[in-house]
Amino acid sequence: MGEKDLHADGGALALRMAEWGLVPTADPAAPLRYPELPAREEPSAAEAWSRAREGMPVSAALARELAADGLLRGVRIAMSLIVEPKTAVLVERLAQAGATVGVYCHAHECHQYIADELASRGYAIEANSAWTPAQEREGALRLMDRIRPNVVIDDGANFARLLVMERPALLPQLIGVAEETTSGVRAFQAMQAARELPFPVVAVNDSQLKTRFDNRHGTGETCVATTLELLGAGCLAGARVAVMGYGPVGEGFARRARVLGARVTVVELDPVRALEARFAGFDVARAAEALPAADMVVSATGVRHTLPLDLLRTLPNGCRVVVIGGIANEVALDQVVAAGGAILPGEKDGISQLRVPQGPTLALLAAGDGVNYAAGPGNPIEIMDLSFAVQILAVEHLLRNRGALPNRVLRLGPDADRRIATLALAVRGVTLDAAPEADTADGSTFVPDWRVTRFSDAVTTPAAAPASPNPKELP
């Protein structure tokens, strides 16, 4: 390739190469070279916080509405969430709206530089990335005693359940809980089924703005990105990947892994989801069939012991094990250790050796925690803006209906999703056509008059003149 070729067609090829980051050379025999990129600099806590704040306009608009309304004034909110820059913005906005806010975080979910920044700005926080499980429990209880919450924003239902069991004296002042995750909603539903749920719970996870964006795009995408960062950019090309669970998170991971060259097999217990995966073009198989041949196994269920000891023993030596559901012991590490196995440091940060007794040695990513937050930056800012917008509306719903809600798992209605989506479109410069005016007694739209059928609503046209009979067909 010579200089003449590069500048043919008005320099179109040279322009395209520049877009790809390739620098042409004058020597046709010389290889193309990549430009040297500047060294990556990690932002400070204040810079990361500021960057997240700028990328979260939807939750900002809702928080300003609550501040103007005065609804949060004097309300005490305890949050149990991953501590990272987006969470810091949520803390800041709720506090600016008038609430007293305290934060607890599990050790493996704590970005320590953000925890330290929150503490330096005067917020109540109990979080340390070096804590043991016993210290985590003590920290959570200290925050409960300090904040004495009216509202809990939870992730996994662990904080609220600990409050029920260890601090029942705080229950009378607890108005309700907003739950972020699938696994947490399941836990509260189990409490409801056992008639032991003592407060209303808003299932933030069940909002379309959470499931369709956070789960499928946010978690599905960032778990793939973090896996590539840990294992190398080509780790999925040609790899046989078994994805356990085809909910929104599993689907998001499976689709992106396939695009990157993986041969994906879905393992799913629900027949409807399994059929959906099959129609999406994935192989579907039982665990006993898919796991022994897998180069990588991905648990996307958020269910404890998705990969129990007996299934771990069926994996080939060196198989990579990734958790994207995020619940404790989704990979049954407790069973492995109890049976005499071990979790040992690997050659690279974020990758451990999992020695399965009477079984293989596996490569375990992020110590069996959710890979995108335990070994990566978590979901994108724009995604968490939507999720935290749902959290803000959940808190608003609990407070506006204080004392009137049943002690059940509840869902925000479609109006909440539309309210957030309309704001999210507006900040992106998108407006939609107005919906038709209500034409029913209750003010609803798009509801047909049941009396109008195809028989009565057909378009009538003038009748065509009958065709002249064919003389040859006359008797």
pLDDT tens track for 415-438: 999 999 999 999 999 999 887 765
Question: Which domain does 24 fall in, by range?
Answer: 1-35
Given 374, 409, 441, the domain boundary residue is: 374
- Average pLDDT on 132-138 reads 96
Say if residue 159's pLDDT is above 80.
yes
Cα separation of 425 and 45, whole Å?
29
Is 444 within the bounds of a domain?
Answer: no
Both 229 and 369 in one domain: the answer is yes
Question: Could you tell me the pLDDT band of residue 40, with boundaries at 50, 70 and 90?
Answer: low
Q: Which two tokens stand for residue 117?
A: 């920044």
Q: What is the pLDDT of residue 325?
A: 86
Is 319 within the bounds of a domain?
Answer: yes
Is 344 within the bounds of a domain?
Answer: yes
pLDDT, tens digit (0-9, with 9 covering 90-100), for 389-421 = 999 999 999 999 999 999 999 999 899 999 999
Question: Could you tell me the pLDDT band of residue 459, with boundaries at 50, 70 and 90?
Answer: low
Both 53 and 182 in one domain: the answer is yes
Exposure string (b/e) for 233-244, b if CB count within 10 Å is 16 or more? Answer: eebbeebbbbbb
Both 170 and 66 in one domain: the answer is yes
Q: Are strands 342-345 and 351-355 parallel, antiparallel or unpaired?
A: antiparallel
Cα separation of 468 and 466, whole Å?
6
Say if residue 205's pLDDT is above 80.
yes
Block residue for tokens 């590069």: 6
Both 82 and 132 in one domain: the answer is yes
- Give one DSSP letter per residue of 264-304, joined into a string: EEEE-SSHHHHHHHHHTT-EE--HHHHGGG-SEEEE-S--T
Q: Which two tokens stand for residue 332?
A: 């049954």
Say if residue 67's pLDDT is above 70.
yes
Say if residue 204's pLDDT is above 60.
yes
Percent of the chain with pLDDT over 90: 73
Q: Which two tokens stand for residue 406?
A: 């049943």
Task: Indicate the SS3 state at residue 404.
Answer: coil
Q: What is the pLDDT of residue 124?
A: 98
Say if residues 139 and 128 touch (Cβ distance below 8 Å).
yes
Both 78 and 170 in one domain: the answer is yes
Cα separation of 213 and 366, whole Å?
23
Cα separation of 276 and 248, whole Å?
11
Question: Could you tell me the pLDDT band of residue 327, with boundaries at 50, 70 and 90?
Answer: confident
- Residues linked to residue 283 through DSSP beta bridges, in sequence order: 265
Beta strands in 136-282 (DSSP E): 151-154, 176-179, 201-203, 240-244, 263-267
Domain count, the chain: 3
Question: Could you tell me the pLDDT band of residue 357, with boundaries at 50, 70 and 90?
Answer: very high
Question: Could you tell me the pLDDT band of residue 348, with boundaries at 50, 70 and 90?
Answer: confident
Is 182 within the bounds of a domain?
Answer: yes
| Most confident of the ranges 41-45, 60-64, 325-329 | 60-64
Question: Could you tell me the pLDDT band of residue 439, with boundaries at 50, 70 and 90?
Answer: low
Is 440 within the bounds of a domain?
Answer: no
Question: Could you tell me the pLDDT band of residue 462, with boundaries at 50, 70 and 90?
Answer: low
- Average pLDDT on 165-190 reads 95
Both 79 and 161 in one domain: the answer is yes
Say if residue 257's pLDDT is above 70.
yes
Is 305 within the bounds of a domain?
Answer: yes
Q: Which candidate, 275, 225, 203, 217, places its Cα nearest to that of 248?
A: 217
Q: Which two tokens stand for residue 210?
A: 């959470």
Both 224 and 346 in one domain: the answer is yes
Q: What is the pLDDT of residue 32?
A: 47
Q: Which candidate, 166, 155, 169, 165, places its Cα nearest to that of 197?
A: 165
- Average pLDDT on 146-174 reads 97
- Average pLDDT on 147-156 reads 97
Both 187 and 250 in one domain: the answer is no
Q: What is the mean pLDDT of the chain?
A: 88
Q: Which residue would you say has higher pLDDT here, 376 or 120?
A: 120
- Least confidently predicted of 7-21, 114-128, 271-285, 443-457: 7-21
Q: Write the CB contacts of 417 (distance below 8 Å, at least 6 apart in sequence).
A: 207, 208, 209
Task: Give the long-range contacts of residues 30-34, CB within 8 A, separation 24 or more.
Answer: none
Q: What is the pLDDT of residue 214?
A: 84
- Average pLDDT on 301-328 reads 94
Backbone angles phi, psi at 104, to 5 degrees: -120, 150
Is 473 within the bounds of a domain?
Answer: no
Both 263 and 233 in one domain: the answer is yes
Q: Write the CB contacts of 201 (distance below 8 Å, at least 6 apart in sequence).
A: 160, 176, 177, 178, 179, 185, 188, 408, 409, 410
Block residue for tokens 């719970």: 201
Cα separation of 244 and 266, whole Å?
6
Both 252 and 148 in one domain: the answer is no
Q: Which amino acid is at 22?
A: L
CATH (domain of 164): 3.40.50.1480
Cα separation of 183 and 326, whole Å?
9
Q: Which residue would you say has higher pLDDT here, 285 or 19?
A: 285
Q: What is the pLDDT of residue 376?
A: 87
Both 134 and 9 in one domain: the answer is no
